Structure 1
């Protein structure tokens, strides 16, 4: 069983208490550092004002990077989009089948 640890983190000068499994602490701290850096980058760019808007823009940027991430030459985001399209096609086909019975 994973023990849960409470961590105090700082993002854009604001303190947050976050719970995470003990074995995920290092990863969480990396995520905090990444998010804080991205938010500072957006704020320092001067085009976005307001902490909520900066947070949303940072989340969008990180999501965009994730969707275009490649690991070992594989475009993970591209495969994910193709799988989601196949699932939608299958769902539509199965829905039509359900009407037969």
Structure 2
């Protein structure tokens, strides 16, 4: 069941409904956002909170998209590896069956 949770981000308190089992994740996300905002503020000297929030949101979205692309590339690579293994196993089984048939045919003669 969702319960309201108060989180602090950049000096502001937000009350967010959150399932109990997701509360730790929400707090980690809030701390991550707080850290990103603070680092951006120090790096850019921007003091406008709205600007900092938008820039941080864009940076986080960019990072997320990069990670999604890496994951997708990794998935494609894994799929290719699995297909290669399947092909190798199929060839090995086929060769084994061919050799077995040839051996059986020689024994019959």
Q: TM-score range by the shorter chain?
A: 0.5 to 0.7
Which has more strand, going by share of residues?
Answer: 1
Map 1:52-67 → 2, pairs under 5 A = 52-67=50-65
- Mind listing any 5+ residue stretches in structure 1 that lack a counterpart? 80-101
The two structures, once aligned, show a CA RMSD in angstroms of 2.2
Structure 1 residue runs of 4+, over 2 Å off? 46-49, 73-76
Question: Following the alignment from structure 2 to structure 1, what is the Cα–Cα distance between the partners of residues 72 and 37?
Answer: 26
Question: Which of the numbers 6, 30, 38 marks the counterpart of 1:8?
Answer: 6
Q: Which TM-score applies when normalising by structure 2?
A: 0.60
Q: Is the radius of gyration larger for structure 1 or structure 2?
A: 2
- Mind listing any 5+ residue stretches in structure 2 that lack a counterpart? 77-109
Question: Following the alignment from structure 2 to structure 1, what is the Cα–Cα distance between the partners of residues 60 and 5?
Answer: 22
Q: Which TM-score applies when normalising by structure 1?
A: 0.65
Aligned residues: 74
- 1:29 offset after TM fit, Å? 0.6
